[in-house]
Structure 1
């Protein structure tokens, strides 16, 4: 019998969603939370498909999700102070996330909701037609950023935005004013990178991107806009240049 490959290690985004469910169920998801476990399983499997993976019977299924959620007991002082011991096997990142969000449950809920909405709102059929996008070296990744950059690489939108900017006489970086043609001559003529200014988790399913939602940026400013896990606004980037 062919040996089934092991499931991939849980990512930071996945563990953030699991920790959020742990907190919402008081650290003890029971039968009444079956729907929440199934919902999380569905989101995680869609996340894997969006990242180029495929489903399997064991990949982030309900039982696996339940066990992962319960792993957070090993970091929960409320549970440990009862003389109990949580599951010892797990992902080192679980403890890191617990410490990071300790006392910041509102931030945890916000971050988890952003991840969840980005995944649920992603149109798999549309994304399948767009070029893949690898993260820049040193930038904070995650499913939100990968999805964002996939949408930015829509060749039709890029072409329309460049055309509109050129017609307005401003095919330059909207942050620093860099002009590729002025610097590189014919080689840089007509070139500028296109940045989507709205975070993907704020886009509703079926939302049509407007040209006003796009900005023209040089390569440097574009990388800085993606430097953190959440987008850095153009106005903030301009402040850095003062």
Structure 2
């Protein structure tokens, strides 16, 4: 697959010329156990020397996954809901925590407790709601339970939300509405350029790490190839990778 990276390279050059730093991070969703796809993900992370923050589904997380995390410094487990079950009312968009639910607080508390039991100091107390949707009634109780951060999708409106640092993702290469597969690369690149332009112009928070979102369990060869190329372009273009477990979350 031949991809024209020149527009992205030009925008990254403008970013550098304006003296702006570009923090970025990588989040991957839906892990529960070691799989060939997970090993491929971690291999790519090692080859790029790039941390990958893996959103683990607590209810079904395997102890084997914790062993891998302990031996893989670039793997950062984070909390992906509780069971990744659609709890949305009929006709609403899919979500596990996207609507008021009397059981939500018990589930988010159990999720963090279970993740800490499995991963100990290797995990980050960041809550990633399945389908990136969360109701304010759920968000409001997370900090008191011990969560430090929240991650959904699209640029954040504020650095802090209900006592949590919000660090979202912004670029997802999968064409979900088309049933899967890689979105047209030129469309992904154009969206990334728009995001970078918004940051340069002050229309978006330029201190929020730019987030790349992957889903290792459903990626085909084209998505894997694009992910490698895209992440390499960011690194080569001066973007600064963040390891959110090692770096203070209240700093850019």
Higher RCO (C-alpha 8 Å, min separation 6): 2
Give the TM-score normalised by the residue count of structure 1: 0.22
Pick the structure with more helix per residue.
1
Structure having the higher Rg: 1
Give the TM-score normalised by the residue count of structure 2: 0.21
Pick the structure with more strand per residue.
2
